[in-house]
Structure 1
Amino acid sequence: MALMLLITLLFNLFALLLILIRPKIFHAKLFKPMITNFKLSVIPLFILVGTLTLQLFFARVSALTSFTFLGTISSLILIIGLVIWLVFLPNAGYLVTELNLTHREVDEVEVPIWYDIIAVLSLAISGVLNTALNIVLLQFTFFIYFDPANITTFNTPIFWLLTWLVFPVLSFGIYLGRYIRFNTWDLFHPIQFLQKLFTHFSQKNTRREAFLFTILLGVFLALFYALTFLNPLWQLIE
């Protein structure tokens, strides 16, 4: 598990470095949307870690004192934090959409294609790793938080069904961000959000494309999760 955490960190740093040094090496302009998308990719992890830290703090204080209301606050922090985390989570995997190399269209000088392939592929993989890491950290949290003495009780069909269902949900969120240009903060305008959503999916071809995108990217994310994090998680619960 520690090794995968290190690999994820290195991939993020390597991808960011390639974006930042690209203008210096090839005298091209910095493509700022990539930097923005990179920042958004790591935000869910900070939200999750911050939520769990605050929740554990209030729970610990509640256990050591007579302020039982802090236990209620602890639970509310966990629930609200996880909802916010889930809303932001598609941003982690959104980096895979950078593989279309649209940033090359705004270049005033020609950058070698091999460099952009390495840079964008690293960026995409870092996003997929961030997604898988978020999910597995949440799973570890449930193991430790709810029943640390009997971790195997979570090794149930329902638990794993919910785990695998996360991936198509994330993929659909990524589709909304890429092809309808929805942002997380658009949820604060629900009427406009629903109107735009209805207009987009009123076309049959659009619905078909969204379905294929959601399923195929969901399978890809699930397989990547299984490849990178499933083995250490399985060792924990066996």
Structure 2
Amino acid sequence: MLFLFIGAAILNVYAATLVILRAAVYRTRLYRPMLWNIMLSALPILLLALAFIALVGLLLVNRLLAFAIVTILGVAWLLMLPNASYLITELNQSHRAEGDPVPLWYDIILVISLAMSGVINTIVNVFVAQLLYSVVMFDDRAVSFFRPRSMIALAVVLLLVGLGMYLGRYLRLNSWDVRHPTALVQKVITHFRERGNALACFGFTLTYALFIGILYLTIVTPIVVGMYELELARQ
């Protein structure tokens, strides 16, 4: 499990390094939005870390306060989570301009690194969230990852991630736009009144949710199986 976190950190640093070297080596403009998106991608896991600290530190002192803080942080985490996977959409190569001096091969590996760091960041976030869920609901049993409630919650979260990515890419909405709910709702309604947008959103959301879900199960299942075998060995 530790290697998953280390790998995610290394991949984020590698992607950020490629962005910086692109400007330094090829004497081109530093594409700051990519660096900003990498930072936003890592932010949700920090919120989960705070939730874990609150859960462990306050659970024995005041159970109600612990759950209240965890709930607030959980909502903030869910709002920020699409930022983790948003890096996938950098694959559109929107940063390249006509006559760009940067070789295409460099930008290909750059955007793939960004996309994969977004995928891994999302997987780490959801995995840690499931760990917290198992601690609260099932006393930290690894088998709880595969319970129906846990799998349904996983599907809902991934669908919300896909929806958040769509809103960010096509409506240019950000997580902090919830501070202006009236303008936010009006913008969303206006968008979906246009013919074809609802269907496009459905296809985008489902496709990306399935993509991340398949990768999530591929990476996380061996880790959970190892945790379960360790539990059995300790009994």
Structure 2 length-normalised TM: 0.91
Percent identity among equivalent residues? Answer: 32
Distance 1:210 1:38 in 2: 24
Distance 2:17 2:116 in 1: 14
Q: Which amino acid aligns with 2:227?
A: L
Q: How does 1:47-66 map to 2 (within 5 A)?
A: 47-60=47-60, 62=61
2:111 corresponds to which residue?
120
2:233 corresponds to which residue?
none
Q: Which amino acid aligns with 2:88?
A: V
Distance 1:115 1:190 in 2: 40
Structure 2: gaps spanning 5 or more residues: 230-235
* Change over 3 Å in CA distance of 1:150–1:173 after alignment to 2: closer
**Given the alignment, which residue of 215, 219, 223 partners 2:214?**
223
C-alpha deviation, 1:151, in angstroms: 4.8
Distance 2:188 2:140 in 1: 45
Deviation per CA, 1:23-42, whole angstroms, max 9, x where unpaired? 11100110011111111100
- Does the aligned pair in 2 maintain the 1:27–1:109 contact within 8 Å? no
Distance 1:35 1:150 in 2: 37
* Change over 3 Å in CA distance of 1:21–1:151 after alignment to 2: closer
1:130 corresponds to which residue?
121
- Does the aligned pair in 1 maintain the 2:145–2:224 contact within 8 Å? no
- Does the aligned pair in 2 maintain the 1:58–1:73 contact within 8 Å? yes
C-alpha deviation, 1:152, in angstroms: 3.5
Query: 3-state SS of the aligned residue for 1:213?
Result: helix
C-alpha deviation, 1:149, in angstroms: 6.6
2:82 corresponds to which residue?
90
- The number of residue pairs the alignment matches comes to 229
Asked if residue 27 in structure 1 is aligned to residue 24 in structure 2, the reply is no
Distance 1:175 1:94 in 2: 9
- Does the aligned pair in 1 maintain the 2:163–2:205 contact within 8 Å? yes
Q: How does 1:156-235 map to 2 (within 5 A)?
A: 156-235=147-226
Deviation per CA, 1:53-73, whole angstroms, max 9, x where unpaired? 12321224x1xxxxxxx3322
* Change over 3 Å in CA distance of 1:154–1:98 after alignment to 2: closer
Distance 1:169 1:214 in 2: 8
Give the RMSD, CA atoms, in angstroms: 1.8
Asked if residue 81 in structure 1 is aligned to residue 81 in structure 2, the reply is no
- Does the aligned pair in 2 maintain the 1:155–1:237 contact within 8 Å? no
1:100 corresponds to which residue?
92
1:142 corresponds to which residue?
133
Q: Which amino acid aligns with 2:22?
A: R
Structure 1 length-normalised TM: 0.90
* Change over 3 Å in CA distance of 1:118–1:227 after alignment to 2: same
Structure 1: gaps spanning 5 or more residues: 63-69
Distance 1:185 1:149 in 2: 33
C-alpha deviation, 1:148, in angstroms: 2.6
- Does the aligned pair in 1 maintain the 2:191–2:197 contact within 8 Å? yes
Q: Which amino acid aligns with 1:27?
A: R
* Change over 3 Å in CA distance of 1:153–1:46 after alignment to 2: closer
C-alpha deviation, 1:150, in angstroms: 5.0
* Change over 3 Å in CA distance of 1:149–1:180 after alignment to 2: closer
